[in-house]
Structures are given as C-alpha cells and as structure tokens.
Chains A and B, each alone.
Chain A
Amino acid sequence: MRRITYCDALNEAIAQEMERDPQVFIYGLGVPDHKRIFGSTNGLVEKFGKERCFDTPLSEDAMTGFGLGAAINGMRPIHVHIRVDFLLLAINQLANMVSSYRYFSGGKLNVPMVIRAIIGRGWGQGHQHSKSMYSIFAHIPGLKVVLPTTPYDAKGMLISAIRDDNPIVFIEHRWLYWQTGEVPEEPYTVPIGPPNVVREGKDITIVTTSWMNVESMKAAEILARRDVDVEIVDVRTIAPFEDDLIVESVLKTGHCIVADNDWVECGFSAEVAARIYDKCFRRMKSPIGRIGFAFTPCPTARHLENTFYPNAVTIIRAIEEKLDLEPMDLSEEEFYSHENRFKGPF
C-alpha cells in the first residue's frame, strides 16, 4: 500500500471530507497562509475557496465560540491551533460553552466541531510552544479528546472526528508529522474510543500516548534482544477512555508502565493507573510505573530540554528496574533525534 506522512494523511482527510460535505469548513490563524500549518492545510483554500478555508483575527476565545455557533446552526467547523498553548486562550469557551451546549439545549443541539491542536517539542520551543494539556480537556464532560499516533489513524480518526456530532479536541504531535505509514487513498474511518494494541508481548504492558508510542516502540525493539517481550497499547482516545484492552493486557503481563506525553502530576497517566488498579489490583506482579515530563516548565537550551523529556532510554531503564534486570549497555544504540530535522526558525 501507498506510504504517506502523518501530515499528508491529515491533509487528505480534511480535503476528502470538505469534498464530501459542503458544511465542513476549516479556519484558524495561519490556516491559508504560505506555511499552511506545517503543510497540513495545503491546497484547501485553492480547492474550496476563502469562504470555507479562512484566516482569523488573533481571537482564539471568540473564534472558538464562533465555531460553536456555526456548529449548532448546522455547519461542521474545523478550528486549527498551531500550538495547543494558544488554545488555552479559549478555555472558557471549551469548559463553559462548547462542552456543555448540547446538555443545556436539552439534547436538541449537536456540536459537530473539531478543534485541531498541535502539541510537542520542536527545536527549542520553550515553555509556551510545547505543552500537551490534553488531560485538562479530557477532564471536562462533553468533550472528546483524541490523539492519533500513526498516519493511518491520523486520517481515519480525523474523518471520524469530522463526522462525529460532538465537539472533539484533536491532538497532533509535531514530531509525528514526518512519520510515514501505509494509508489508503479512499476515505475510511477509525473509531473514536477504543485503544490499539500496536505491539503484542507477554512480559510487560506499556500504555502510551502520542509521540511516546514511537519511543516505546524503540524501547521494545531494544529490549526484545534480551528476550523482554513488551506489549504496547496506544490509547488514541483519552475521552471517552475505553480501558478494556488495557485491562486485558495488564491481566496478561502482570506489569504496567504508563508512558504519557505529558506531565505526570494529575495527568492522564493517573487516570490510567486508577482504572488499572481498580480492575487488576490483586492480579498484578508489581505497582504501576508512570513516565512523563519533568515537573517544570519546558526549558529551551538543548541539554535542559533533553533532561525535561523522557525517551526510549527512560522507558528501557524503567522496565529493567521493574523486571529486576541489570541495566544494559545502550552506548551503541541509535535513538530518535531531530537534530537533522530542525535547522533554525520554523
């Protein structure tokens, strides 16, 4: 099958849905500019015109309410934020309006709205251009929160999100944009809700989100060479969070580490751990481990940034400790680096 990037998969999903349904429109700061949200909105303004693909004033709060208003009147807006940090300017609309509008219309008004927000580190992004924040959105009843990892899921889940009658916060990690994978050309959907077992194993379960899937997979490959068989579950949807597959996996392996692409404190990893304890408590061989960002704002200087972020090494060391293994020599291993991707402002 054809291989394309995560970014192109997103782009294709939007273009195909805009083609299918004239009520879909896309807007947000920079959506039709020459950089096109890192390329994910390429070709849309040319194909669908400025009425359905437009730039906005710097008014995240108002433009979120704007999407809500359009949605309750029958349209299907896609609002784009090039950084999730900017979406925080609209937290009032998200928490007080978008999430509860259906409930407070007596169930009469649907809010078919997609809010795309890019998360993740890039190239010295610093503390206001790199946050994750999704656990905050998942805390609010009435919002769905999804964060696909693979290009296949990116396209299928974005199409599902656009067709869904609920407001959906759609989280995209910046580093995933260049990941390639097999993606069908025709439109298809990937259901919002169920997680995905992306690697089967019998010794330990890693429950993981977004970019940390990539790091987990690398860790699993390295550990496989010393006969540690890691199972990886990509959560994909954190609200509504379906834990069946995760519980099943932990009951099988008896060990679990949650590697979340966020701070640990009061984060999504705590929700995962609580669910697992609730359903697997007496059948586990060790306590649940949690991996996430250092509990600091994200610094800019490279060595500090590298200390802030967990990676495959962090995961390997955590698994070794949990399984009582000697730390292996990783000096010859090649780990993911973006040094060759980013060269200057972008």
Chain B
Amino acid sequence: MDIKKLNFELYKKMFLVRRAEEMIQIYYPEDHMKTPMHMSMGEEAIAVGVCHAMKQEDQIFGTYRSHGIYLAKTMDTDDFFAEMYGKDTALLKGKGGSMHMCATDKGFMGASAIVASAIPVAVGASFANKMAKNEKCVAVFFGDGATNEGVFWESLNVACLMKLPILFVCEDNGFAVHTPKSEREGYGSLSDIVSKFNCHVISEETTDVEVIYNLTRDGIKLMNDTGMPLFLHFRYYRYLEHVGIDEDYEAGYRSKEEYLKWLERDPVRLQREKLLAGDIDEIEIKNIESAINEKVMKSITKAQGSPCCDCSELFEGVLA
C-alpha cells in the first residue's frame, strides 16, 4: 500500500475513534448512556496502529477501556452506540455496556473489567489458532497496571513456553487508576524484564500512528518467522479521568502541564498535519471528516430511537 493511502486510512480510523468519544462527551451528561465510560482519548495511535497492522480475521481482546480498539478493529458505530444506550439493537442488547463490548464476527473477542484477566484467555485463543493452523493471530490489550498482576506473568510465560502467535500490547499511561508507577513497581523497566523471556519486545514512546503501525507490522512478521510471541510496549497519555468524560487535573495526582506537553503531539492532530504535509488536499480530509461525523451522528440518533430489549432477555445466554 502506498504511504499516502496508508496514512489516510490510519487518519480515518483515528478520527472516527476521537469523534465517537467527543460525541459521548456531549451526550453522556443527558444520562441516557448508563454505563461507566473509560475513555480512550489520547491512545488512538496505539489502538489504530496495532489494529491496522493486523489482518481482518485476526482476533483482539480488550479491557474496560476499549472504545479505541473496538472502533479501530470494527469501524462499526451503530452497534457501538446502541450498546452504550443499552438498546435491543446493540451488540449484547445492552448487557455489556462500555466495559464489555464483544463482536466475535468482527474479531473483537471480548473485554474484561478485571485488570489482566483477559490476558490468559487471549493466550488460550492463540493456542487454539495455532492448533487449527488457521494463521490467525491474537492481540490482547492491557494497561501498565495489568503487569502488576501475577496472571500477566503467568500468561506471558505460557505463551513464550508454547510459542504462541500472540501480541501482548501494553498501553502504558503510567497510572493504575490514580496510582503512579513509583507506588507500584519495584523495578526500573518493564520491557527489560519481559525481554528476558523468549519473545520479541518492542518499546516506544510515540504518538505517531504510522510509527506504531510499522513497528507492529514488522513485529508480527518477526513473530511469524520465529514462532515467538510479541510484546509491544507503547507509552501514551490518558487525557481524561480514569472513568468519566471529564478532565481531572485539579485532583492533583498529575499535572496539567504534562498533559499540555502531550497534547502538543496529539496523535489525531499529528496525523492530520502529516496528511497535509504529504500533499493531501484539505478538502479531501474535510470531506472524509464530515462523512465520519455524519456516520457517528446517525448511529447516535438511531440508538436513541431504538427500543430496549424485553426484560425476559435477562435470562437468555447464561447457559448453552
């Protein structure tokens, strides 16, 4: 794919993620989306860069903070907003909400709100793929807090031992809820420790989606060539509070100055500037932006107007 086209695709996905969440910020205060929102704002480059480097049929697992990867992987906004509004037309008819999206037909295999608990599930899924020889790879996304959990290390060990085709994607924002690394980690560098395992490690601090895409693509190739898992460690800055749609710099656990520094290299704006510098007509960008705006708005309106499922649905799906 030529670079220009690639960058445009990456921008479209990032713009979709950003715009969907900006609309959540607008409509959430109406209190019709009754689900705790853990916003992805700030991490769009990781979500889009990694997902875009994967094949359509590959599978991903997420956390309670999965708007970014869900939208990047599926490009769906209809089911997404219906789920936020808890409607009958939604992914899970509203049973999951923001924290538990699932769209298996699109390779989004689920999201868990217990930190690190989807990691071993992704490892098992990749084992099944390896046994089936179906060439699918799995990516599991988690925050840096998850690496404090024992099950992260158990899972990494198993994947390395069994040589499974899996991407561990650590989206590192430096905080576990509000607790900084300095209060949590008795070591200097996570990547150094992980690199002692039989896997490939790529660690980068960038908001450039193209860089993340290229690193991931190269990493997947390395993984496929060697049969060893891939550990991706990307830094980002969480723009909003841990849960909710607002900023929380007045709380004092992190500084607004730091945020503003990251904002200067905001991934979405950075990519837009790259497109302009790469001779893409601003009109073309604006056209695609308004098409995405329209798509998002249509999904919201549709979700708002959709009925809720029947209460009998409560009992459906517990057992096969």
Contact = CB atoms under 8 A, between A and B. Distances in A.
Nearest to A107: B317
B121 interface: yes
A141 B318 contact: yes
Contact of A93 (B117, B158, B161, B319): B117
A166 B320 contact: yes
Contact of A106 (B95, B124, B127): B95
B109 interface: yes
Given A70-B127, A72-B125, A96-B117, A142 B318 contact: yes
B92 interface: yes
B54 to A, nearest CB: 16
Interface in B112-150: 112, 114, 117-129, 131-132, 150
A153 B317 CA distance: 28
Interface in B91-117: 91-93, 95-96, 100, 102, 104-105, 109-110, 112, 114, 117
A305 interface: no
A163 to B, nearest CB: 11
Contact count band on A? 35 or more
B286 to A, nearest CB: 37
Interface in B271-320: 316-320
B155 interface: yes
Interface of A: 25, 51, 56-57, 59, 61-75, 77, 92-93, 96-97, 101-112, 141-142, 144, 164-166, 240
Contacts of A72: 104, 109-110, 121, 125
B124 A102 contact: no
Contacts of A68: 120-121, 124
11 contacts: A57-B154, A57-B157, A61-B120, A62-B154, A62-B157, A62-B158, A68-B124, A71-B124, A72-B121, A96-B114, A104-B100
Contact of A61 (B91, B100, B151): B151
B79 to A, nearest CB: 10
Contacts of A97: 112, 114, 117-118, 121
A137 to B, nearest CB: 14
A293 B120 CA distance: 35
Among B102, B110, B129, B150, the most chain A Cβ lie within 10 Å of the Cβ of B110
Among B93, B96, B128, B129, the most chain A Cβ lie within 10 Å of the Cβ of B128
Contacts of A51: 131
Contacts of A166: 319-320
B38 to A, nearest CB: 16
B123 A65 contact: yes
A103 B119 contact: no
Contacts of B109: 72, 109
B120 A66 contact: yes
B157 A110 contact: no
A59 B152 CA distance: 11
B212 to A, nearest CB: 25
Contact count band on B? 35 or more
A32 to B, nearest CB: 15
A71 B274 CA distance: 43
Contacts of A93: 117, 120
Among A59, A61, A65, A112, the most chain B Cβ lie within 10 Å of the Cβ of A65
Contacts of A103: 95, 317-318
A92 B117 contact: yes
A65 B119 contact: yes
A25 B110 CA distance: 24
A102 B91 CA distance: 13
B154 A69 contact: no
A238 to B, nearest CB: 15
A59 B126 CA distance: 17
B128 A69 contact: yes
A73 B125 contact: yes
A56 B158 contact: yes
A1 B92 CA distance: 50
Given A61-B150, A109-B102, A166-B320, 15 more contacts: A62-B157, A63-B158, A66-B124, A68-B120, A68-B121, A70-B127, A73-B125, A73-B129, A77-B124, A97-B117, A97-B121, A102-B317, A102-B320, A104-B92, A106-B95
Contacts of A96: 112, 114, 117
A115 to B, nearest CB: 13
Given A102-B319, A103-B317, A104-B110, A57 B124 contact: no
Contact of A59 (B128, B132, B158): B158
Contacts of A165: 320
B124 to A, nearest CB: 2
Nearest to B132: A74
A109 to B, nearest CB: 6
A65 B119 CA distance: 8
Contacts of A56: 158
Given A56-B158, A97-B112, A102-B319, A65 B93 contact: no
A78 to B, nearest CB: 13
Nearest to A99: B318
Nearest to B136: A73
Contacts of B316: 107
Contacts of B151: 59, 61-62, 65, 92
4 A-B pairs with least C-beta separation: A69-B124, A65-B120, A62-B154, A73-B128
